[in-house]
Amino acid sequence: MDHDMPGMGGMPPPSPPQDHMMVGMGLTHMTFFWSKNAEILFSGWPGTRTGMYVLALIIVFVVSLFVEWISNSNYFKDKMSNYNGLVKTFAHGLKIALAYLLMLAVMSFNVGVFIVVVAGHTFGYFLFGRRNNSENNACQA
């Protein structure tokens, strides 16, 4: 007589698909996906509303621009040289913290987030980094 009830011994419960990982009550993607239904950095954010997803993408884009500005800004290199390095150290710590937050945002595996991070860094370099590199090359000539 077979007394095995479904899910009570015998065979283990089915596992989630390999491109997902169980975290709490939901699934976390382990491969890139394209959807407005994503969680970026915080549980439940931006949620399932399209407007909140677009806002999240804008915020991520602006943060990546800001990281490029800090990385390539002469403000911290020249104007703050009169200070004892504390401001430069704070700026460096802020740059690293924001860069790690962007890395974690990309680790949501949402294609939209990946695209806006790359676009933000690229556009930030176009605005801030390219000028600094051309000034450095002119000084070396």
Torsion angle in degrees (nearest 10) through CA of 125, 130, 133, 138: -170
Query: At 21, is the secondary structure helix, strand, or coil?
Result: strand
What pLDDT, on a 0 to 100 scale, did the predictor assign at position 16?
52
Nearest by Cα to 102 from 58, 63, 56: 63
Would you say the C-alpha torsion 12, 14, 19, 23 has a positive or negative sign? negative
pLDDT given for residue 114 in this prediction:
96
How far is residue 11 CA from its own chain's centroid?
A: 39
Q: Compute how many other C-beta atoms are within 10 angstroms of the C-beta atom of residue 97.
A: 11
Residue 113 pLDDT: 95
pLDDT of residue 129: 85
Residues of the chain with pLDDT under 50: 25
pLDDT of residue 43: 84
Cβ(128)–Cβ(68) under 8 Å?
yes
Question: How confident is the model at residue 38, as a pLDDT?
Answer: 84
pLDDT of residue 84: 66
